Amino acid sequence: MTSVKGSEMTTAEVAPAEVDVAIVGAGMAGTTLAMVLGKAGRKVALIDPHRIHHDEFRAEKIGADQMQLFTRLGLEEAVMRHVTPVSSIHVFRLGQLFAREQKWEYSFSYGSLINGLRDALPREVPITVGKVAEVSTGPDRQRLVLADGSVINARLLVVATGYSEAVRRAVGVERIELSKAHSLSIGFDLAIPPHECAYQAVTCYGKRAADRVAYLTVFPLGNKMRANMFVYRTVAEQWTRDFRENPQKMLNQLMPEISAQCGDFAVAGPVEVRQINLTTTQGHRRDGVVFVGDAFWTTCPTPGVGIGRVMVDVERLCTVHIPAWLATPGMAADKIGAYYDDPVKVASDEAGMRVSLYAKQITTETGLEWRARRLRNNAARQLMIIGRRVRHLGLRREPGMA
């Protein structure tokens, strides 16, 4: 691959890089796609404005099912080097201990994970650091001109630029806002170190619809205890300003049942707040170009399906669609449509959107139907808590039982 470096070279002097696939955006989707395609011997260009992904508040935890998607693509080893595994989670509902879940979760700092994956890219797939200045797409060849004048020609263009709009707009696709200001994701470090925390990890659900709290999850991340809270509020609300100013006071009011175990909610470092919009894409069925991960749809972090959706896109593209597309001439829109119509991708996107909408409704809706649903769910949970207590008492009374 050729990329222009230094002022002595001009576009006219440099032969354009010729690749099978040009991927714009080296986040989770772009980097993992480049890794798998590169390992399979495809000629790939991966372009991002920054060599080092900055440390921004994004996904910080995945479950075992999402880890399996990395495993299936041969990426587990590269991912495992950058995660903190968690195997026991105490779950609080209705102000009481509801369950002790024995399951694997993996926490990480998003920037470190992406940089770790970038470092694990095959030698044949270096990151081209640059901004895309011009894009032209067609049924056979795609042409990218970067801001420094270098040119990349590809059979297929993959847009993996996440929330960013520049390349999407240049290609001419539109983002549709399905639910604007849908929720807030809040991230902060707790002052208590992991070894002083009573539990390895805690999840505590909101109690009242009026609180608009989905849940708080507290988990170890390296040598810190990290907290993510998901609430159905907006950045401009007084509640959000108050939370930023005094998270400890507000957490103690909202979740006193886990305060002692979490070091009285003393917070270390800044409170990061991100507004989440649910979006889909329109006008994406085009010659030569495909949209992947958050560049296609964005869902809500509350149900924790974002990384899973991204990895389903990557898995379908590199195991099914891209090999088939490259094996036949042309790259017209009807060929690319197979990816958007792929039942596995469609099911993953639709389920992600459905649970994102449902999680908000079941937490905040005050109509009769939703109040009845909440009552039914909470009654069932309360019965489970009582049943477990009765069984526990019975066991303690039975002679000879420890």
Footprint of ligand FAD on this chain (CB under 6 A)?
A: 24-30, 47-50, 53, 57-62, 131-132, 160-162, 164, 166-167, 185, 274, 293-295, 301, 304-308, 310
Of 250, 279, 263, nearest to 181 by C-alpha is 279
Give the integer Cα–Cα distance in Å for 243 and 197.
23
Is residue 157 within 8 A of residue 287, CB to CB? The reply is no
> How many residues are given for the chain?
402
CB burial readout 307-346, b (16+ within 10 A) else e = bbbbbbbbbbbbeebbeebbeeeebeeebbeebbebeebe
Q: How far is the CB of 114 from ligand FAD (least distance, A)?
A: 7
Q: How far is the CB of 160 from ligand FAD (least distance, A)?
A: 5
Nearer to ligand FAD, 48 or 342 (CB): 48
Looking at the DSSP bridge assignments, the partners of residue 91 are 99, 203
Q: Which two tokens stand for residue 234?
A: 């907006």
Nearer to ligand FAD, 111 or 140 (CB): 111
Nearer to ligand FAD, 251 or 310 (CB): 310
Half-sphere exposure at residue 30, Cβ-oriented, CA atoms within 13 angstroms: 30
Nearer to ligand FAD, 130 or 198 (CB): 130
Q: How far is the CB of 24 from ligand FAD (least distance, A)?
A: 5
Q: How far is the CB of 187 from ligand FAD (least distance, A)?
A: 7
Handedness of CA 147, 152, 153, 156 (dihedral sign): negative
- Residue number closest to ligand FAD, CB atom: 27
Tokens 């797939």, residue located:
125
**HEC-encoded secondary structure of 11-39:** HHHCCCEEEEEEEECCCHHHHHHHHHHHH
Q: How far is the CB of 342 from ligand FAD (least distance, A)?
A: 17
Q: Phi first, then psi: give them for residue 174, nearest 5 degrees.
A: -115, 140
Nearer to ligand FAD, 80 or 332 (CB): 80
Query: What amino acid occupies position 162?
Result: G
Q: How far is the CB of 162 from ligand FAD (least distance, A)?
A: 2
Nearer to ligand FAD, 43 or 53 (CB): 53
Nearer to ligand FAD, 97 or 357 (CB): 357
Q: How far is the CB of 164 from ligand FAD (least distance, A)?
A: 3
Looking at the DSSP bridge assignments, the partners of residue 279 are 177, 298
Q: How far is the CB of 340 from ligand FAD (least distance, A)?
A: 16
Give the integer Cα–Cα distance in Å for 222 and 349.
31
Nearer to ligand FAD, 29 or 359 (CB): 29
